Amino acid sequence: MDIHYTGKDRILLIINYILLGLFVLAILLPLVYVVLSSFLTPNTLITKGFAITSSDWTLTGYAKILSNSAMIRGFFNAIFYSAAFAFATVLFSVFAAYPLAIEELVGKRSIMIFFLITMFFGGGLIPTYLVIKDLGMLNTVWAIILPGSISVFNIILAKTYFQGLPKELFQAASIDGASELSIFFKIVLPLSKPIIFVLALYAFVGQWNSYFDAMIYLDDPKLFPLQLVLRSILIQNQVQPGMIADAMAQAELKKLSEMIKYSAIVISSLPLIVMYPFFQKYFEKGVMVGSIK
């Protein structure tokens, strides 16, 4: 397709590229600034802005962050929560979606409505909190992993995928005498790697970035995920004890804490930003499948 552009069209195209360029810059500049700042000495940051001489560069911020036990523990907690949450999400979504994708299942409609209702009505913050409290799940990893892992949206996503699989395969297997179990494990699951991957990826990223559930349900700092530790550093300005020597002057402390913030932002965002280009097409696929309903 080769469209002929008139002079007016060319101007529009040029304006388009300029505006897009500005948008891209608006996205990139803050990110680049954070990354650069995380490598600069506190003094440079405050007095000179950016500097090019080698003496202005430092890894102190990273050293402080990486030697901080709360941060490290938060990092590993976040990995654990995210992986466990992704596993639970895939497990519940796939097992619930498969029967619902089968046309003949008796009561399919009612069960679907049963799930769908939760999309429009919710118990709200406090009643949910009270249930989790009554179950004795406060201050346990279960409060982070279980309640959110069952989502109607994911069930619909997986159901749509299963419905798209060729029916003839199941019918043939069924005629050959395969049980429902072996059809599911030997035929359906191997064909469902893409949707499993998409669900897991979304769940992992969502959990990695979340802090609110952990803030509500967890008291023990040992259980805190990364985002909650970050919140105390970035928002509440609580530089963790041990990060800065007591003797240091108040002013130094303030400068250093600014620097620690930049490093903390970079370290916590790095895993996702690094893996995201490789998984971009899966993320897009997830959005598209989700939009079909």
Q: Is 282 in the site for another protein (CB under 8 A)?
A: no
Q: Is 171 in the site for another protein (CB under 8 A)?
A: no
Residue-wise DSSP of 200-246: HHHHHHHHHH--HHHHHH---GGG--HHHHHHHHHTS--PPTTSS-T
Site for another protein in 59-78 (CB under 8 A): none
The answer to whether the beta carbons of residues 263 and 38 sit under 8 Å apart is yes
Quick one: which of 63, 136, 180, 189 contacts another protein (CB under 8 A)? Answer: 180
Other Cβ atoms closer than 10 A to 143: 22
* Cβ distance to another protein smaller for residue 185 or 222: 185
CA dihedral 214, 204, 63, 266 (to 10 degrees): -100
Other Cβ atoms closer than 10 A to 108: 14
- Going by C-beta distance under 8 Å and a sequence separation of 6 or more, which residues neighbour residue 113? none
Residues facing residue 40 across a β-bridge: 57
Quick one: which of 52, 106, 245, 249 contacts another protein (CB under 8 A)? Answer: 106
Stretch that binds another protein, among 60-68, 161-169, 202-210, 238-246 (CB under 8 A): 202-210
Q: Is 262 in the site for another protein (CB under 8 A)?
A: yes
Q: Is 278 in the site for another protein (CB under 8 A)?
A: no
Quick one: which of 53, 113, 120, 175 contacts another protein (CB under 8 A)? Answer: 120
* Cβ distance to another protein smaller for residue 6 or 246: 6
Stretch that binds another protein, among 60-68, 165-173, 189-197, 201-209 (CB under 8 A): 201-209
Quick one: which of 138, 216, 244, 253 contacts another protein (CB under 8 A)? Answer: 216
Site for another protein in 134-153 (CB under 8 A): 135, 146-147, 149-150
The answer to whether the beta carbons of residues 93 and 157 sit under 8 Å apart is yes
Site for another protein in 4-23 (CB under 8 A): 4-6, 8-9, 12-13, 16-17, 19-20, 23
Residue 230 CA neighbour count, 13 Å, CB half: 20
Q: Is 113 in the site for another protein (CB under 8 A)?
A: no
Query: What single-letter amino acid sits at 171?
Result: Q
Quick one: which of 86, 155, 198, 223 contacts another protein (CB under 8 A)? Answer: 155
List the one residue out of 236, 237, 231, 230 whose CA is nearest residue 256. 237
Q: Is 79 in the site for another protein (CB under 8 A)?
A: no
Q: Is 219 in the site for another protein (CB under 8 A)?
A: no
Q: Dig out the tokens for 122 from the structure.
A: 């919710």
